[in-house]
Amino acid sequence: MNMSNPSFPRFHLAFPVCDLEKTRSFYQGLLGCTEGRSCDIWVDFDFFGHQITAHLYSSEDEVVSTNPVDGENVPIRHFGAILEWDEWHKLAERLQNEKVEFLIKPQIRFQGQVGEQATLFIKDPSGNVLEFKSFQDESQIFAKNTNSQINSL
């Protein structure tokens, strides 16, 4: 699947999985989703123009709720949206002005690397984790990472 209309907001969903190879077979093989960046504990897919991320967790260790991503402990279960660059900055400023508590403060992740993006994480009143992200270069949304980047995750 490839993004056919980049003028619509793209959805982002991250979810836990217990087997990355079976996950790849299902999303790539069965559904035809293109794989984007990945490492040994997560993989991005182009899900009909939207970005979904499968995070590996151990079924024996169900208390694991985060994975390390570019120096931050990212909650495995989260969802959000990929916004236009200016729209993301306006939202980040509004949230800061409203004194919203950030799980991960607004920042640029993967700076100077494949997949460079602005990101922030917050919780809704029920404790659901939301990520809002933006890419200055939208071709990076589903870009694959390099071997050196995989090793540094």
Quick check: is 37 in a domain?
A: yes
Model confidence at 2, pLDDT cuts 50, 70, 90, reads very low
Burial 131-141, CB ≥16 within 10 A → b, else e:
bbbbbeeeebb
Q: Residue 18 sits in which domain range?
A: 10-152
Cβ atoms < 10 Å from Cβ of 4: 8
For the chain, the domain total comes to: 1
The CB-side HSE value for 72 (13 A sphere, CA atoms) comes to: 16
Residue 30 tokens, joined? 């069965």
Quick check: is 19 in a domain?
A: yes
What is the rounded CA–CA span in Å between residue 110 and residue 36?
Answer: 14
Q: Picking from 24-28, 78-82, 126-130, 131-135, which range would have the lowest pLDDT averaged per residue?
A: 126-130
Quick check: is 101 in a domain?
A: yes
Quick check: is 3 in a domain?
A: no
pLDDT at 30: 85
Quick check: is 4 in a domain?
A: no
Quick check: is 88 in a domain?
A: yes
Give residue-wise pLDDT tens across range 47-72.
Answer: 878 999 999 887 655 555 888 998 89
Give residue-wise pLDDT tens across range 69-120.
Answer: 988 999 888 888 898 999 999 999 999 999 999 999 999 999 999 999 999 9
Placement of tokens 């997949």 in the chain: 115
What is the rounded CA–CA span in Å between residue 108 and residue 132?
Answer: 12
| Residue 147 belongs to domain with CATH number | 3.10.180.10
